[in-house]
Amino acid sequence: MRFEAITWERLTDALAERVMDLKTADGGPWLRIGIDGAPAARPEELGRRVAETLRLRGRSVLAVSTEGFLRPASLRYEFGREDPDTYYDGWFDTGALWREVFGPLEPGGTGRVLPDLWDPATDRATRSPYQLLPESGVLVLYGPMLLGRWFPFDLTVHLRLSAPALRRRTGESARWTLPAFERYEREVGPGEAADVVVRVDDFRHPAWGRRPADDGL
């Protein structure tokens, strides 16, 4: 994959253009976009940028963070508060994401998506109402370690930090998660799995690359 320098504005516009022309892989009426990256890579920022740009172009968009689908603390901390394997396998409620986010957007689905399920601050259910995403609408899901879980994305973007940059940008209190991201690199290889990769070691000067087969972007 060849990388070239790009501004965040140009990157956002390019991704939005791609989405505007994109067809769903399953023939359904809803597009599903994944913005993958460690918290230190700020996937929420690009996710919100893309969502807003698509709205300005007339598309209905629902932006969802995986932070709203954390498991209860009793499950997250079952093996201690700083267990990287639990962080990798058990912090995020992938079953709920399938059921409440992806399931309603399958062909023949209702389009009624639950935007979040659990509030980690209160450790209680959010009780947020379902939101109806109209046909031709776009789901933008952002968060860490989204790839390799068989989520039915139509376009995936991975925000890549080198190992030294990831360590440097991860706060001391979260350094225990670093082995989980090392495992993610080994087992999933997000830089090879994603459709688009954005290098963000220096947030002022991102660079992006696309898979050779992706001629449309």
Q: How far apart are CA 207 and CA 21, in angstroms?
A: 23
- Per 3-state DSSP, the chain is made up of helix, strand and coil in percentages (nearest 5) of 40, 20, 40
> Quick one: which H or E segment has residue 59?
none
Sign of CA dihedral 86, 37, 123, 174: positive
Which residues does 92 contact at the CB level (< 8 Å), separation at least 6?
A: 66, 69, 70, 71, 143, 145
Q: Residues 12, 120: contact at Cβ < 8 Å?
A: no
pLDDT in tens, 139-190: 999 999 999 999 999 999 999 999 999 999 999 999 999 999 999 999 999 9
CA–CA separation, 154 vs 27, rounded Å?
A: 11
Residue 1 has pLDDT above 90, yes or no: no
* pLDDT band for position 198 (cuts 50, 70, 90): very high
**Helices marked H in the chain:** 8-21, 43-56, 73-76, 84-90, 94-97, 163-169, 178-187, 190-193
Residue 215: pLDDT above 50?
no
> Residue 214: pLDDT above 90?
no
pLDDT by residue (tens digit) across 57-109? 999 999 999 999 999 999 999 999 999 999 999 999 999 999 999 999 999 99
| Averaged confidence pLDDT in the chain | 95
User: Could you tell me how far CA 90 lies from the centroid of its own chain?
Assistant: 17
pLDDT confidence bin for 211, thresholds 50/70/90: confident
pTM: 0.94
